[in-house]
Chain A
Amino acid sequence: KNEVEQSPQNLTAQEGEFITINCSYSVGISALHWLQQHPGGGIVSLFMLSSGKKKHGRLIATINIQEKHSSLHITASHPRDSAVYICAVRELGGGADGLTFGKGTHLIIQP
């Protein structure tokens, strides 16, 4: 089974800073997901990617398949970006549910 490691576990930054959250995994995958969970519980899917880079607004996700590593970047961070960010991977040949989740990165953006 894939092992998914996220770093850092906790991150506090000032508004406007550039944020990077990292995710590494141990076994080949077909896709990697980045999820966002706000206080209160609901989880939103931000990106699903299998190669290269995706951008949505101030969020950018990259993946390096050879190095088994992905990063989530937030530009011009804002207090509303404060949330837990979760990385999840689907292994090659994974069935209806082959997702393995990281433990999450707790991000706090201070005004």
Chain B
Amino acid sequence: DVKVTQSSRYLVKRTGEKVFLECVQDMDHENMFWYRQDPGLGLRLIYFSYDVKMKEKGDIPEGYSVSREKKERFSLILESASTNQTSMYLCASSPYSNSPLHFGNGTRLTVT
């Protein structure tokens, strides 16, 4: 079974802090994704990566950056956290473009 592991389930940070959300998958998947999920808005794509060191902006990249130095790890970075980044963050991976996504358990981030 594919395992996608997000480093934290709950995280509380202060406004202005730099925040790192880590995601690791164990199935050698090419594609990795970061989504945020907010009530009434559904899942929205922040960034995705289809290969090591490659990244593409999603629908809402502002205020975020990503890093993919190794195939199994995809990090989401909030350079200077703000309260409007309080959300549930979900990482996912897939082996190729038209295949099901495998999700992590999510990180609920609160920025105060």
Contacts and interface: CB of A to CB of B under 8 A. Distances in A.
A14 B107 CA distance: 32
Contacts of B50: 96
B69 to A, nearest CB: 19
Interface residues of A, number: 24
B103 A44 contact: yes
Interface residues of B, number: 27
B90 A41 contact: yes
A42 B105 contact: yes
Interface string B71-112: 000000000000000001010100001111111111010000
Given A97-B33, A101-B43, A42 B106 contact: yes
Interface string A78-104: 000000001010100011111101111
Contacts of A102: 42
B7 to A, nearest CB: 14
Contacts of A101: 42-44
B33 A103 contact: no
A48 interface: yes
Nearest to A40: B105
A94 B43 contact: no
A103 B106 contact: no
Interface in B13-51: 31, 33, 40-45, 48, 50
A45 B58 CA distance: 21
Nearest to A34: B100
Interface of A: 30-31, 33, 35, 40-45, 48, 86, 88, 90, 94-99, 101-104
